[in-house]
Structure 1
Amino acid sequence: MRITGGLLRQWQDRNRRATIPHVIEQLRAAGNVDNLSRLLVADPPAYRGRYPFLDTDLYKTLEGLAYEIGAGHADEGARAFFDEIVGLLQRVQAEDGYLNSFFQDPAAAKKPWEDLTWGHELYNLGHLIQAAVAANRRMGDDRLLAVAIRFADLVVRRFGEGGEEAVCGHPEVEMALVELYRETGDRDYLTQARLFVDRRGRGHLEHGIMPPEYFQDHLPFRDLPSVTGHAVRMAYLAAGATDVYLETGDRTILEALVRLWDDMVTTKLYLWSSSPTTSP
Structure 2
Amino acid sequence: MVSPAIALAFLPLLLTLLIRYRFYMVLLYRAVLVRWVQDWLTGLTREERAFQYVLTHATPGEPDTILEAFDSWCNNVEYISHIGPRKGKILDRLVVETAPLVVLELGTHCGYSTIRIARALPVGARFITVEMDERNARVAEKIIRLAGYDDDMVELRVGSSEEVIARLREDLGVERVDLVFMDHWKRCYLPDLQLLEASGLLGRGSVLLADNVLFPGAPHFLRYARACGLYTLRLHRATLEYAQGIRDGMAQLEYHGVKIDT
Higher relative contact order (CA 8 A, sep 6+): 2
Query: TM-score when scaled to structure 2?
Result: 0.33
Query: Relative to total residues, which structure has the larger helix share, 1 or 2?
Result: 1
TM-score (norm 1): 0.32
